[in-house]
Amino acid sequence: MFLTRPALAALLAFGTAAAGLTTAPAAVAAPDTTAPKIESFDFTPDRIDLSTGAKSVTVTARITDESGLDSNDPFMIISSETTSQTQGFGRMDRVSGSATDGVYSRTVTMPDSVAPGTWSVRLYPLTDTVGNSNFFTDAAKKLQVRYGDSVPAAPTGVQATAGDAAATVSWTAPSSDQPITGYTVTSSPAGASSTVSGGATSAEVTGLTNGTAYTFTVAATNSVGTSPASSPSNQVTPSGLPSAPTNITAQRGDRSARLAWSPPADDGGASPKSYLITVLPGGRTVTAAAPATGATVTDLTNGATYTFTVATTNARGTSGASEPSNAITPAGAPLRMAALTAAVKKSTITLRWTAADGNGAPITGYVVSWKSKSKKVAATATSLVLRKMKAGRYRFTVRATNEVGSSEPSPARIVRVR
């Protein structure tokens, strides 16, 4: 005899009870309280031109739910956002997947009588098999309806920034019935342009002439054609680095040097703002404002040898250094000497002094003075003998000379001859 499935279950239950055994209750799953969810949504195509007649649009949506979407759902409708018109009300069919994760689709014919503009879709109800329900409006995905697409509007907000023989131009993208495929930037005065892709909002225009003022216009292109040119940008003047000054000359001074130079042959399209002087050795720099073409460098050391380079600075930056100037050695007149010493023997006076400090230049001689007389002495001498001096009182001074000039007279030495 064969037992039916219910009889077999009853028999097993009786045996378990007779043996004093119990069975553990089965785990109970948490109830599904979440409405179906839209995972993705789209129009294909999302832009139609009804000027040539009605067009078909397919709406697709992927819907997931733990319990599974009710077999009668979902319904959809496409609505104009500017009028009360609607199109395509009806149920969407599942084209792939399952009730818990499926793709649903409906194709709608948009007649050539509907309003142009933006249309959106609503899906309702979204009800699962246990009664959770929701409706769905996707704000991000829109259908654009047009009657005869047109060229884009002109870009706006065109701004230019000068570069070196170039300029960077930026703009705000215009409205367009069709995706913008590119932009063309044109210079004024003519001679340079740049074309970039439709996703760009800036472009570099090269091949400009430094020192020439330019404005720029931008035109947008889509599949229909090209927009009018934008309003002109602000005016900019490209510029580059200048060249270095030429003919650098230096003349020595007392702890200083006087420099002169010729302006750069190429100012880079922008007038020089200043000149940067470099002292060699040491590398100390001194700035001279343009348009001067000369400057005095101070705080040099007398007796040291220097050369100088000069660079040009304009609005773009600073040039390289010029060729070095001629070498100079700053110097001044000799420093004031100490008082002479004097020895008197009868009518002979012997005067002595300490060699002078030439202050950066060799001593070329000495001049000893008394009363209305003076006597020149060689640079190597440090004494002078005066014979047959008449009796009387004498006031002697000495000063040193070099190629720059003479020192101040030394303090006087009073000598008496009896």
Residue 65 sits in a domain whose CATH number is 2.60.40.1930
- Give the residue from 126, 146, 166 where a domain finishes: 146
pLDDT at 1 over 90: no
pLDDT tens digits, one per residue of 380-412: 999 999 999 999 999 999 999 999 999 999 999
Residue 20 belongs to some domain of the structure: no
34: left (phi over 0), alpha (psi -120 to 50) or beta: beta
Q: pLDDT category, 135, cuts 50, 70, 90?
A: confident
pLDDT at 203 over 90: yes
Shared domain for 276 and 209, answered yes or no, is no
pLDDT at 40 over 50: yes
74 cis-preceded (ω within 30 degrees of 0): yes
Phi, psi of 9 (to 5 degrees): -65, -40
Residue 133 belongs to some domain of the structure: yes
pLDDT at 139: 64
pLDDT at 332 over 70: yes
Residue 215 belongs to some domain of the structure: yes
pLDDT at 6 over 60: no
Shared domain for 116 and 69, answered yes or no, is yes
Residue 241 belongs to some domain of the structure: no
Report percent pLDDT > 90 for the chain: 75
Q: Which domain holds residue 192?
A: 156-221
The CATH number covering residue 188 comes to 2.60.40.10
Residue 331 belongs to some domain of the structure: no
pLDDT at 4 over 80: no
Shared domain for 142 and 85, answered yes or no, is yes
Which residues, other chains included, contact 224 with Cβ-Cβ below 8 Å and sequence gap of 6+? Answer: 149, 150, 151, 177, 178
Shared domain for 124 and 162, answered yes or no, is no
Shared domain for 58 and 129, answered yes or no, is yes
Shared domain for 101 and 66, answered yes or no, is yes
Residue type, 290: A
pLDDT tens digits, one per residue of 235-268: 999 999 999 999 999 999 999 999 999 999 999 9
Shared domain for 109 and 81, answered yes or no, is yes
Shared domain for 48 and 141, answered yes or no, is yes
Residue 227 belongs to some domain of the structure: no
* Range of lowest pLDDT (3-7, 52-56, 127-131, 270-274): 3-7
Shared domain for 116 and 141, answered yes or no, is yes
Q: pLDDT category, 78, cuts 50, 70, 90?
A: very high
Shared domain for 137 and 169, answered yes or no, is no
Residue 361 belongs to some domain of the structure: yes
pLDDT at 52: 86
pLDDT at 16 over 60: no
pTM across the whole model: 0.60
CA distance linking residue 110 with residue 88, whole number of Å? 8
State both tokens at 62: 């992927």
Residue 228 belongs to some domain of the structure: no
Q: Is 312 exposed, middle or buried (0-12, 13-18, 19+ CB in 10 A)?
A: buried
State both tokens at 278: 């470099």
Shared domain for 302 and 208, answered yes or no, is no
pLDDT at 3 over 60: no
